[in-house]
């Protein structure tokens, strides 16, 4: 990983050197900006980070200089005004734009980290497809056809989709997967500008590209190890008969032909299964892109930053007074103190390095890595660009934990095995009823036998996917409680419908007074050694191995905790939610109420 980062820093240094000497860098200035953003988002080792900051300081000093223009042919006053007047406000306006983009990418990276559980299970088709998409995009972008071939009629897929066990693609490493998805989002972010496409055509273009990579990439992968074709064997058999070869030789050729025919059919079936799996993975990727890319490329919105700077040099952008509770605060860094969010902040300087002192603790401000400080139910972010820093409060991991616990409480009901998985049958019937009238015989107790045969992990994944479908339909619906009660009455589960409806409301609204805040809520922080926590009548052991966390109990097999886990006990269910090193838990009783 470090070697790859060293090469990126080397490349950044070469591009900055070209700019300093007045030469246009290969790929244009936009390639420098993209490369710089990748390095800013990367976790650079200290030595490499120090070198990057030195190079970046040269780049920023270059950006701070006015653009070079050829001497004016006609020395009129209007020309002088156009060149000189914006010189004072452009740098600080550009700083605000950089901060808006930096906040966007920081949020995007955090959301990708949260979504990784959807991409690291099974055969990791989405990550393998992403790898192939990036490889082929890079190769095709180097050809002269790329910029004009919107329909991809000239695209030749040169990089197949890697196999699940490919040793050169370490997709089992969560960090590698995260960086892969983030790089794909960055490619999609700039794609329309590189192709001169309308922004709203970004996703349709990538959908076409993915289809071509799937079709041709699978053919490349499966054709690599293919034996003698059936056509060659048929010709050999005809020649053998024509030349009156022995019956034994002819039978051997016929046997090889039959075996090759069976192998070809098997490969065709495997390819079709893979094609369907990768097509579904492509849709998941495109859904994620739609969620993350800013409008009109996708559904996200770029962060809105207050267009003023505390201690700013530009009078038009200078902030006269800091509000009591600002949505965000951009400051020009210089030694001194200021107050925001009812807290005293102090900026200290040592050479070109700045630090922020909060509550007696000093935090270095680095351009390579944004600062994140716990702040009650939020995180204080501090992002630095040169002589400026942007501070803002962002929702903390604990808020996500609360949301996960609310989801986990619903899952605890759905996974209850009593009454032939009554709650899971109820939810599936309710999901179908949200689409229109249904027949209830598809949800009777005798249809629940497959739930009993499934492993706990498979059943939880199944219930969780069903819950996501219900949530999407509820968000498009109006009043849904009467429909749920109707389904409950039809299945003879009226009381269960009331209980699950209450939990669904808590989960959907994510209220601050939700039941997740009051039912045996506890938390622990993972460390190098094993941890334990008591939930209900059992003590659960937590063991971290790399990025994975495993939960075990006496007499029970260990289970992996990605972000949410429901652990059944005789008297109820333990719900565990994880965000980074923090694990929160709650208990759902199986008594008369909750």
pLDDT digits (tens, 9 = 90+) for 491-527: 999 999 999 999 898 888 763 333 333 334 567 777 7
Average of per-residue pLDDT across 59-64:
66
Pairwise pLDDT comparison (366 vs 510), residue with the higher score: 366
Share of the chain above pLDDT 90, in %: 37
Of 16-25, 353-362, 424-433, the range with the lowest mean pLDDT is 16-25
- Answer whether residue 156 shows pLDDT above 80: yes
Looking at the structure, do residues 498 and 576 belong to the same domain, yes or no? yes
Whose tokens are 């905790």? That residue is 561
* Paired strand residues for 336: 347
Structural domains of the chain, count = 3
Burial class (CB in 10 A: 0-12, 13-18, 19+), 110: middle
Give yes or no for residue 425 having a pLDDT over 80: yes
pLDDT at 357 over 60: yes
Residues 459 and 375 in one domain: no
One domain, residues 435 and 520: yes
Above pLDDT 70, what percent of the chain? 85
What tens digit of pLDDT does each residue of 197-225 get?
A: 899 999 999 999 999 999 888 777 666 44
Q: Is the dihedral of CA 81, 83, 87, 89 positive or negative?
A: positive
**Relative orientation angle of helices 397-414 and 456-476, to the nearest 10 degrees:** 110
Q: Flag whether pLDDT at 164 surpasses 60.
A: yes
Residues with Cβ within 8 Å of 274's Cβ and at least 6 positions away in sequence, in order, are: 218
Helices in 393-446 by DSSP H: which ranges?
397-414, 418-433
Task: Give the residue from 395, 410, 443 where a domain finishes.
Answer: 395
Domain that holds residue 513: 399-589
Is 234 part of a structural domain of the chain? yes
Provide mean pLDDT across the span 545-570: 86
395, 422, 437 - which closes a domain: 395
pLDDT of residue 366: 92
The answer, yes or no, to whether residue 244 has pLDDT greater than 90, is no
Q: By mean pLDDT, which of 55-64, 181-190, 529-538 is the weakest?
A: 55-64
pLDDT above 60 for 488: yes
**Claim to verify: residue 448 and residue 379 sit in the same structural domain:** no
Closest CA to 409 of 339, 463, 473, 458: 463
Domain co-membership, 409 together with 540: yes
Q: How far apart are alpha carbons 142 and 137 in whole angstroms?
A: 9
Using the predicted structure, report yes or no on whether residue 353 has a pLDDT greater than 90.
yes
Judge whether 69 lies within some domain.
no
| Domain contains 508 | yes
- Better-scored residue on pLDDT, 461 or 49: 461
The DSSP call for residue 156 is -
Residue 590: the pLDDT is 79
Same structural domain for residues 391 and 430?
A: no
Alpha-carbon gap, residue 510 to 403, rounded angstroms: 6
Whether residue 361 sits in one domain with residue 480: no
Q: Which carries the bigger pLDDT value, residue 594 or residue 193?
A: 193
Do 564 and 576 contact (CB within 8 A), yes or no?
A: yes
Question: pLDDT-derived band of residue 237, with 50, 70 and 90 as boundaries?
Answer: low
Per-residue confidence (pLDDT) for residue 206, from 0 to 100: 96
Q: Tell me what pLDDT residue 77 has.
A: 40
Two tokens at 119?
């991409």
What's the 3-state SS for 25-73?
CCCHHHHHHHHHHHHHHCCCCHHHHHHHHHHHHHHHHHHHCCCCCCCCC
- Pair (281, 318) in one structural domain: no
Determine the pLDDT at residue 472.
Answer: 77
- Dihedral of the alpha carbons of 424, 428, 433, 435, in degrees to the nearest 10: 150
Instruction: Answer whether residue 324 shows pLDDT above 50.
Output: yes
pLDDT at 76 over 50: no
- 3 within some domain: no
**pLDDT greater at residue 47 or residue 309:** 309
Q: 251 vs 564, which has greater pLDDT?
A: 564
Query: Where does 65-173 have alpha helices with state H?
Result: 77-84, 90-115, 125-141
Domain limit, last residue, from 352, 372, 395: 395
More confident residue, 173 or 104: 104
**For the segment 247-277, what is each residue's pLDDT rounded down to a tens digit?**
787 777 777 767 777 777 777 787 788 889 9
CA R_g for the chain: 30
Query: Residue 329 domain-assigned?
Result: yes
Is 25 a member of any domain?
A: no
Residue 349 CA to residue 243 CA, distance in Å, equals: 92
Q: Is 50 exceeded by the pLDDT of residue 90?
A: yes
**Chain centroid to CA 537: how far?**
36
Q: Is there a single domain that holds both residue 219 and residue 250?
A: yes
The string of pLDDT tens digits covering residues 104-143 is: 999 999 889 888 877 887 889 999 999 999 999 999 999 9
Q: Is 390 in the same domain as 404?
A: no
Per-chain mean pLDDT for the chain: 82
Residues 295 and 403 in one domain: no
Strand order from edge to edge, sheet including 336-340: 336-340, 343-350, 353-358, 361-365
Looking at the domain assignment, is residue 526 inside a domain? Answer: yes
The phi, psi pair for 543, rounded to 5°, reads -130, 125
C-alpha–C-alpha distance, residues 103 and 564, integer Å: 27
> What is the reported pLDDT for 9?
82
Coil, strand or helix: which one is 562?
A: coil
- Within this chain, do residues 320 and 353 fall inside the same structural domain, yes or no? yes
Could you tell me if residue 279 is inside a domain? yes
Q: What was the pLDDT predicted at 484?
A: 94
């Amino acid at each position: 990983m470090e070697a790859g980062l060293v090469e990126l820093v080397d490349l950044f240094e070469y591009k900055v050197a070209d700019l300093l000497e007045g030469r246009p860098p290969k790929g244009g200035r936009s390639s420098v900006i993209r490369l710089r953003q990748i390095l800013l988002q990367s976790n650079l080792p200290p030595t490499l980070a120090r070198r990057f900051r030195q190079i970046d300081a040269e780049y920023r000093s270059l950006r701070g200089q006015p653009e070079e223009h050829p001497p004016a042919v006609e020395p009129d006053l209007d020309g002088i005004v156009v060149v000189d007047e914006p010189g004072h406000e452009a740098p600080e306006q550009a700083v605000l734009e950089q901060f808006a983009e930096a906040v966007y990418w920081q949020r995007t990276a955090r959301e990708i980290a949260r979504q990784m559980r959807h991409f690291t299970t099974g055969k990791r088709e989405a990550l393998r497809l992403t790898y192939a998409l990036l490889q082929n995009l890079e190769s095709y972008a180097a050809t002269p056809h790329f910029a004009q071939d919107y329909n991809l009629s000239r695209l030749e897929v040169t990089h197949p989709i890697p196999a699940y066990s490919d040793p050169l693609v370490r997709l089992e490493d969560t960090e590698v997967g995260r960086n892969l998805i983030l790089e794909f989002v960055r490619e999609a972010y700039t794609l329309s500008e590189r192709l001169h496409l309308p922004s709203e055509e970004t996703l349709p273009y990538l959908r076409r590209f993915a289809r071509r990579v799937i079709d041709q990439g699978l053919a490349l992968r499966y054709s690599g190890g293919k034996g003698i074709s059936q056509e060659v064997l048929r010709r050999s058999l005809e020649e053998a008969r024509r030349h009156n070869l022995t019956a034994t030789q002819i039978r051997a050729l016929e046997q090889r032909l039959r075996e090759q025919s069976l192998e070809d059919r098997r490969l065709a079936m495997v390819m079709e299964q893979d094609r369907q799996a990768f097509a579904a993975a492509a849709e998941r990727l495109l859904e994620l892109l739609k969620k993350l890319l800013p409008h009109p490329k996708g559904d996200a919105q770029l962060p809105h930053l207050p267009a003023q700077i505390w201690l700013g040099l530009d009078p038009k952008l200078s902030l006269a007074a800091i509000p009591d509770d600002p949505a965000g605060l951009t400051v020009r860094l210089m030694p001194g103190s200021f107050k925001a969010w009812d807290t005293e902040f102090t900026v200290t300087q040592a050479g070109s390095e700045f630090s922020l002192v909060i509550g007696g603790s000093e935090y270095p401000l680095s351009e390579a890595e944004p600062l994140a400080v716990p702040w009650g139910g939020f995180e204080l972010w501090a992002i630095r660009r040169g002589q400026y820093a942007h501070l803002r409060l962002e929702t903390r991991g604990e808020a996500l934990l609360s949301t996960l616990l609310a989801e986990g409480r619903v899952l605890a009901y759905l996974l209850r095995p009593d009454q032939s998985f009554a709650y899971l049958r109820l939810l599936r019937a309710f999901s179908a009823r949200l689409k229109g009238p249904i027949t209830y015989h598809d949800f009777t107790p005798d249809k629940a036998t497959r739930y009993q045969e499934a492993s706990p992990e498979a059943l939880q994944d199944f219930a969780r996917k069903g819950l996501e479908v219900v949530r999407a339909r509820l968000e498009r619906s109006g009043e849904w409680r009467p429909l749920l009660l109707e389904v409950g009455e039809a299945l003879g589960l009226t009381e269960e419908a009331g209980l699950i409806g209450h939990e669904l409301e808590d989960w959907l609204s994510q209220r601050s007074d939700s039941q997740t805040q009051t039912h045996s809520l506890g938390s622990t922080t993972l460390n190098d050694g094993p941890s334990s926590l008591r939930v209900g009548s059992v003590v659960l052991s937590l063991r971290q191995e790399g990025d994975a966390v495993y939960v075990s109990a006496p007499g029970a097999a260990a289970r992996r905790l990605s972000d949410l886990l429901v652990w059944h006990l005789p008297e109820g269910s333990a719900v565990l939610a994880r965000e980074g090193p923090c694990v929160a838990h709650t208990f759902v009783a199986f008594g008369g109420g909750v």
